[in-house]
Structure 1
Amino acid sequence: MKKSFIIASIILLLIIIGAGGAWMLSQKSEPKADDQGIGHWFKSQPPRASFIEIKDLVITLQADDNRPRYLLLDVVLVVRGEEQSAQAQAFEPAVRSATVGLLNNQPFSDVRARTIPELHDQLLKRYQEEANQLGLKTLPFDDIMISKMVFQ
């Protein structure tokens, strides 16, 4: 009887140790956001992207029959953080001017034939040139998106 009690105790102890080990392993494989240790205090999180809309840019284009055609364009500036957002808002008139300067009086068929990525790259290049003329080394925003292109 003493022998069977010792064997049963050992088996019970092994089951408890196995269950405890399995529980500990399952806790390590699922890290929680608030249980990252001291290291997460020293990591800086990049600011989330926010957007500044520049709406209703109306650009006059040349038609093949010399009558005016129009492009209605909305551009969105992608910014990160409050400081960059304030700088981008202050730069908005330069974005409007550069956009109109790039596209105004271009042939309708040429502008219509451009793909969105081509126009995106041309606008970014023109914005960088405008920033350089104003004494800025970099653009006060990370990227742009074209949210509306309506031809008339």
Structure 2
Amino acid sequence: MNPPPKKRASLLEILGKIYAFGRFKAFITDLFMIYTPILYIVAYVILGSAEAFLHTQIGIFICVCLYGLISAVFIAVSGQTPGLRYMDLAIIRTQGGKVGFLRALVRFFIWIIGTALLIGLFTPFMRQDRKCLHDFLCDTIIVPKIRQNPAQKP
């Protein structure tokens, strides 16, 4: 007698397992809380105008690097960026420990490259453990964060 065929996970099941909607909301929140102020400061305070910002690639590169550094500090200190905190998610090592600064920084740049090449977006659909490329390479995982006081919601 043959074993029953394995049921393939639906798209919504996979997206739920990797907290895709929570990650996306956290990303948008972080863009507004961290990246937008960086863009404003670099464009208007340092370079003097949006026109000057648009004509320099180094300004954009500096903004991305600053965003990565700030995100890595948040993750190294608390395991959460402001967006992840809002969504009650945290980033930890696969074995349960804290993610250090260097690992968080490398994770950010792998995420940038993987997303730009689109491979990072499809990795969870090809892997049995449903890890994204940056989580797999940096030995991290996104988990729901349990609040100490459940009545306390921002």
| Higher RCO, Cα 8 Å, sep 6+ | 1
Q: For this structure pair, what is the TM-score category when the shorter chain's length is used for normalisation?
A: 0.3 to 0.5
Query: TM-score scaled by structure 2?
Result: 0.32
Tell which structure's C-alpha radius of gyration is larger: 1
- Identify the structure with the greater strand proportion: 1
- Identify the structure with the greater helix proportion: 2
